[in-house]
Amino acid sequence: MRQVTDSERRARLATRHALAPGWSAGSPEDAARSVVALHATDAPTVYLSTWARVPGVGIADIERALYDDRTLVKQLAMRRTLFAFPRDVVPAVLSSAAARVATTERTRMARDLERAGVAGSGNAWLDRAGNEVSVALERSPVALSAAALRRAVPLIDVTVPTTAGETWSAPQVLTLLGAEGAIVRGPSTGRFPTARPLWELPSRWLGPSAVEPDTAEGYRELVGRWLRAFGPGTEDDLVWWLGATKTVVRRALRELDAVEVTLDGTSSGWLLPDDLDVVERTAPWTALLPPLDPTVMGWKDRDFYLGPHRGQLFDTRGNAGTTAWVDGRIVGCWHQDPDAVVRVHLLEPISDEARDSLNDHAARLTAWLDGSRNPTGYRSPAMRVQEHQWQTTRGGRSMV
């Protein structure tokens, strides 16, 4: 059986994810394809993940892809996470991962509506809400904000309690409709690094809809794209990344004729049948990646690139903060000091050459951000330590 060592997995990561010298992506769309899709829950991540993979890219290039050409489409999907997908991938997403999320959300919301006495049939209420939102968007000459839709559709201007002691309201209705593909996140009234999306009808934002594949075919396409970008990976990696079941993953692997391989340790993984050649180690490389970058979040088992630093780089909910990489391993994190200068914080010793390279990345990212701050809500313990150190030593030297 073919063996893929941790070293080779790091080499594959470097080339497939457009991070190593000579393997960069040529556009925001290529950057997204290199990792299947870009995480978009934290608005700046789409921009910073693209910056890390596309030399010379500008904010305007990324906004062109998102809002002018619309070749990247924001869609709620796997694990109830917002991603920016290449446009041609969206039909497969809607029929599989997004549909699973939508079904779960609809079931929960319908139950809440009935328990709260808002509606006798929660599903009928949600159907009516969806129809009225679509009519409001059809009648409007422009895309509408959540607040504008709440005014236009009084039905959704509700506050619904849940059994967990929380509440939901109009934005959650719109999120559900987005997961179902009835509406789509369109233009943004905010500029980098914030996002204030407006809602639009898919037919207006994206044109005539493509035919959605059936659920199994949609999952098969996503699993194939994941294996191409992240393989080899384990069954558990795929189940976690998709937010799906083992049955779904096993069927997709079988239909793709995926090949089982051995990994370092006791696990076995999977590769596509045309991707069995050994990938040699690349030239030395470094990178600075943002919170929730797809590379950091791409596997459930992260030991081969994370090492002993998991507790310092992920928050208690499993969300990754910023990361600093050397040759396929995470060695630290980064943050912006009070003057918006990017600073690197190391968690282990590295070579002088790697340190200089990371500092060069930090200087270039500082210039690219041009004073804009990354207002992320995903701060790892290591980031918080670094921020505290800089707050108490304002103007200090680089932590590397």
Residues 215-245 pLDDT 10s = 999 999 999 999 999 999 999 999 999 999 9
Q: Is the pLDDT of residue 394 over 70?
A: no
Q: How far apart, in whole angstroms, are the C-alpha atoms of residue 32 and residue 71?
A: 10
3-state DSSP assignment of residue 200? strand
Minimum mean pLDDT range among 238-242, 273-277, 280-284, 376-380: 376-380
- 153 assigned to some structural domain: yes
Q: What domain range is 139 assigned to? A: 92-203
Share of the chain above pLDDT 90, in %: 89
3-state DSSP assignment of residue 382? helix
- 76 assigned to some structural domain: no
Instruction: Give residue 390's pLDDT band: very low, low, confident or very high (50, 70, 90).
Output: confident
- 370 assigned to some structural domain: yes
- 260 assigned to some structural domain: no
What's the CATH code of the domain at 159? 1.10.10
243-259, pLDDT tens digit by residue?
999 999 999 999 999 99
Q: How far apart, in whole angstroms, are the C-alpha atoms of residue 226 and residue 131?
A: 35
Instruction: Give residue 399's pLDDT band: very low, low, confident or very high (50, 70, 90).
Output: very low
- 184 assigned to some structural domain: yes
Minimum mean pLDDT range among 3-12, 138-147, 191-200: 191-200
Q: Is the pLDDT of residue 76 over 60?
A: yes
Kindly state whether residues 198 and 298 are assigned to the same domain: no
Q: Are strands 3-4 and 259-263 parallel, antiparallel or unpaired?
A: parallel
Please give the pLDDT value at position 375.
67
* Mean of pLDDT values over 11-36: 98
* Mean of pLDDT values over 101-127: 98
Please give the pLDDT value at position 222.
99
383-388: long-range contacts, CB 8 A cutoff, minimum separation 24: 383/321, 383/322, 383/333, 383/335, 383/345, 385/345, 386/333, 386/334, 386/335, 386/343, 386/345, 387/335
Q: Is the pLDDT of residue 377 over 90?
A: no
Please give the pLDDT value at position 92.
98
Which residue type does 183 have? I
Closest CA to 73 of 62, 63, 87: 87
DSSP 8-state class, residue 5 = -
What is the average pLDDT value for the chain, to the nearest integer?
95
Please give the pLDDT value at position 181.
98
Please tell me which residue, 383 or 324, carries the higher pLDDT value.
Answer: 324
Q: Is the pLDDT of residue 329 over 90?
A: yes
Last residue of a domain, one of 203, 234, 251: 203
- 281 assigned to some structural domain: no
Last residue of a domain, one of 142, 171, 203: 203
Please give the pLDDT value at position 220.
99
Helix axes 122-139, 97-115, angle to 10 degrees: 110
| Alpha helix stretches (DSSP H) within the chain | 6-16, 28-34, 43-51, 59-63, 90-95, 97-115, 122-139, 146-152, 170-179, 202-205, 215-230, 235-242, 246-255, 303-306, 310-313, 352-369, 381-392
User: What's the number of domains the chain is made of?
Assistant: 2
- 307 assigned to some structural domain: yes
Minimum mean pLDDT range among 5-19, 181-195, 232-246: 181-195
- 259 assigned to some structural domain: no
Last residue of a domain, one of 176, 203, 230: 203
Instruction: Give residue 387's pLDDT band: very low, low, confident or very high (50, 70, 90).
Output: confident
* Mean of pLDDT values over 292-315: 95
Q: Is the pLDDT of residue 17 over 80?
A: yes
How many distinct helices (H) and strands (E) make up the chain?
17, 14
Instruction: Give residue 265's pLDDT band: very low, low, confident or very high (50, 70, 90).
Output: confident
* Mean of pLDDT values over 59-86: 98
Q: What is the pTM of this model?
A: 0.95
* Mean of pLDDT values over 87-100: 98
